[in-house]
């Protein structure tokens, strides 16, 4: 079936212009003015914008943590993403038993039947032995061109610096981008032990035991290791103003260094952890201070930070109570598991469906940046960096018809009902937002229209990625 989006204003990372979009099957076939509408289903976009669907390169779906699991799977997470205008997400493959390929196969067996939007995956490298060393170079052949390493979570996820160097050296030659979770695991472990010994167990101590300067030190170390290994480095979930300074420094020296931040770090601070429901705001790395928010916003505005992602990893606030999801009761153990001990609170927040609408309201409706910059940070740049462009992240002939028809004047009182995450709270409950998607298309098919869901489990596809660009 051919579909024609008429009378809209197309917004890309580069330009804004009025034109019609002809969709033939799953692809954009033609872009032009006053295109003929014969034999087409017409979508009238008068007074509306047409954006490329959002690309979120950092989500955690069905992630086991402590004695529970993150509450969104690839169906519910994809559905929430679509309601917020995102049509592509990239999850993480945990490294468990077996080869890298074995773990990817298991992950896809879980995700493929459920995913409601297109997705890909990064490979977590949380151990390094002869087998992993020999298999890293094969990842691009499996469609995965990025790996993630950790400088924290001692005894579980962390690699030492020597092994991080080896991962980066192999990855740099194989066309892999190394993503780094940058914190100082040794200092965190010491401070957590001291806090518990002193009976400090409230949520605020999650932030107090993960010092900001530990992230600053670890980020510079990551860039330096990458330089020695001749490898690009991508810093995930940046949350400290001085991290932005380190990224700017690395880039000023010509290093292939990039980074992302997330909405929670722009709009909330560690003071939220002091609230009676402070567990809702527990994530790693933690929320910081107001001056950090400004440093991150400046980094997004001036291009030092390339991507706005989410680190979506939701848990119920009170998993002892059921919610209704698509008419069925759902109850999943959540943050109540750590009531009385911050170290046992599952680390993570919902955000996949919130990212575009919340950031548009602040950045575009608020006059901080242009719609083009918005598209660049939330769609085009992540598609380029992670090897999906121009299939995703743009409005071009031949690209997938992943499109968000956006009403810049629509006002919404936002919250858990609008967000569609499978959890019992939303960080932005009651916020007044201006600018909202009214129709979302995945490869030419309408999956959301005026708040109604037309998607299904399994309609999304796994995306085989190529080596990405250095921006």
Does some domain include residue 419? no
Position 232 scores a pLDDT of 98
Tell me the β-bridge partners of 134. none
Position 242 scores a pLDDT of 98
Check which CATH number belongs to the domain holding 188 and give it: 3.20.20.140
Return the axis-axis angle of helices 241-252 and 290-302, rounded to nearest 10°: 30
As a whole-number percent, the residues of the chain with pLDDT over 90 amount to: 100
- The model's pLDDT over 94-124, given as tens digits with 9 standing for 90+, comes to 999 999 999 999 999 999 999 999 999 999 9
Please tell me the pTM assigned to this model.
Answer: 0.98
Number of domains in the chain: 1
What's the rounded mean pLDDT across residues 150-163?
Answer: 96
Does some domain include residue 384? no
Does some domain include residue 137? yes
Q: Please say whether the beta carbons of 148 and 122 come within 8 A.
A: yes
Tell me the β-bridge partners of 54. 86
Rounded Cα gap, residues 183 and 350, in angstroms: 22
- The model's pLDDT over 237-268, given as tens digits with 9 standing for 90+, comes to 999 999 999 999 999 999 999 999 999 999 99
- The model's pLDDT over 33-64, given as tens digits with 9 standing for 90+, comes to 999 999 999 999 999 999 999 999 999 999 99
Position 31 scores a pLDDT of 98
Strands 432-442, 445-449: parallel, antiparallel or unpaired by DSSP? antiparallel
H-only helix segments in 68-99 = 74-83
Look up residue 168 and give its two tokens: 């980066």
| Dihedral, CA of residue 411, residue 328, residue 313 and residue 375, to nearest 10 | -30
Name the strands in the sheet holding 307-308, side by side, starting at the edge strand that comes first in the sequence.
54-56, 86-93, 118-124, 146-150, 177-181, 233-238, 257-261, 307-308
pLDDT at 1 over 90: no
Does some domain include residue 394? no
- The model's pLDDT over 158-193, given as tens digits with 9 standing for 90+, comes to 999 999 999 999 999 999 999 999 999 999 999 999
- The model's pLDDT over 11-21, given as tens digits with 9 standing for 90+, comes to 999 999 999 99
Does some domain include residue 423? no
Q: Please say whether the beta carbons of 78 and 108 come within 8 A.
A: no
pLDDT at 87 over 90: yes
Does some domain include residue 446? no
Closest to 314 measured CA to CA, from 63, 56, 116: 63
Q: Please say whether the beta carbons of 453 and 413 come within 8 A.
A: no
Closest to 335 measured CA to CA, from 352, 351, 321: 321
177 phi and psi angles, rounded to 5 deg: -95, 130
Say which residues have a Cβ less than 8 Å from residue 160's Cβ, sequence separation at least 6: none
State the chain's mean pLDDT as an integer: 98
What's the rounded mean pLDDT across residues 367-394?
Answer: 98
Query: Residue 204: which domain range?
Result: 54-372
How would you class 5 by CB atoms within 10 Å of its CB: exposed for 0-12, middle for 13-18, buried for 19 or more? buried
Does some domain include residue 311? yes
Does some domain include residue 405? no
- The model's pLDDT over 423-451, given as tens digits with 9 standing for 90+, comes to 999 999 999 999 999 999 999 999 999 99
Say which residues have a Cβ less than 8 Å from residue 173's Cβ, sequence separation at least 6: 137
H/E element, 337: none
pLDDT at 330 over 90: yes
Q: Please say whether the beta carbons of 32 and 44 come within 8 A.
A: no
Q: ∠ CA 442-448-453 to the nearest 5 degrees? A: 115
């Amino acid at each position: 079936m051919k579909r024609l989006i008429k009378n809209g204003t197309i917004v890309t990372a580069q330009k804004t212009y009025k034109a019609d979009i002809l969709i033939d099957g799953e692809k954009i076939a033609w872009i032009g003015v006053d295109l003929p509408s014969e034999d087409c289903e017409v979508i009238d976009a008068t007074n509306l914008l047409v954006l490329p669907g959002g690309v979120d390169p950092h989500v955690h779906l069905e992630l086991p943590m402590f004695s529970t699991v993150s509450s969104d799977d690839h169906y519910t997470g994809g559905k929430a993403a679509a309601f917020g205008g995102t049509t592509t997400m990239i999850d993480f493959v945990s490294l468990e038993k077996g080869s890298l390929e074995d773990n990817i196969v298991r992950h896809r067996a879980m995700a493929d039947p459920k995913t409601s939007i297109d997705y890909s995956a990064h490979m977590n490298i949380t151990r390094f032995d002869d087998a992993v060393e020999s298999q890293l170079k094969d990842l691009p052949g499996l469609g995965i061109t990025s790996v993630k390493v950790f400088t924290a979570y001692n005894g579980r996820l962390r690699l030492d610096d020597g092994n991080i160097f080896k991962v980066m050296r192999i990855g740099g030659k194989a066309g892999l981008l190394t993503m780094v979770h940058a914190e100082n695991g040794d200092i965190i472990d010491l401070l957590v032990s001291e806090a518990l010994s002193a009976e400090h167990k409230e949520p605020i101590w999650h932030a107090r035991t993960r010092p900001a300067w530990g992230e600053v030190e670890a980020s510079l170390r990551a860039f330096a290791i990458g330089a020695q290994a001749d490898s690009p480095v991508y810093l995930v979930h940046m949350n400290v103003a001085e991290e932005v300074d380190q990224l700017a420094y690395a880039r000023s020296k010509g290093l292939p260094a990039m980074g992302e931040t997330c909405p929670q770090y722009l709009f909330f601070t560690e003071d939220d952890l002091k609230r009676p429901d402070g567990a809702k705001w527990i994530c790693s790395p933690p929320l910081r201070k107001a001056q950090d928010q400004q440093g991150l916003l400046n980094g997004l505005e001036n291009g030092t930070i390339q991507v706005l992602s989410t680190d979506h990893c939701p848990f119920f606030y009170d998993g002892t109570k059921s919610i209704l999801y698509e008419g069925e009761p759902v109850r999943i153990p959540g943050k109540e598991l750590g009531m009385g001990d911050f170290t046992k609170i599952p680390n993570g927040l919902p955000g996949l469906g919130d990212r575009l609408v919340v950031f548009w309201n602040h950045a575009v409706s608020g006059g901080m940046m242009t719609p083009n910059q918005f598209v660049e940070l939330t769609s085009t740049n992540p598609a380029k960096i992670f090897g999906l462009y121009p299939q995703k992240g743009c409005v071009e002939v031949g690209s997938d018809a992943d499109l968000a028809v956006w009403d810049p004047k629509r006002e919404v009182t936002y919250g858990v009902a609008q967000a569609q995450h499978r959890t019992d709270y939303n960080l932005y409950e009651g916020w007044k937002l201006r600018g909202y998607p009214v129709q979302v298309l995945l490869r030419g098919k309408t999956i959301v229209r005026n708040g109604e869901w037309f998607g299904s489990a399994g309609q999304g596809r796994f995306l085989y990625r190529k080596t990405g660009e250095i921006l």
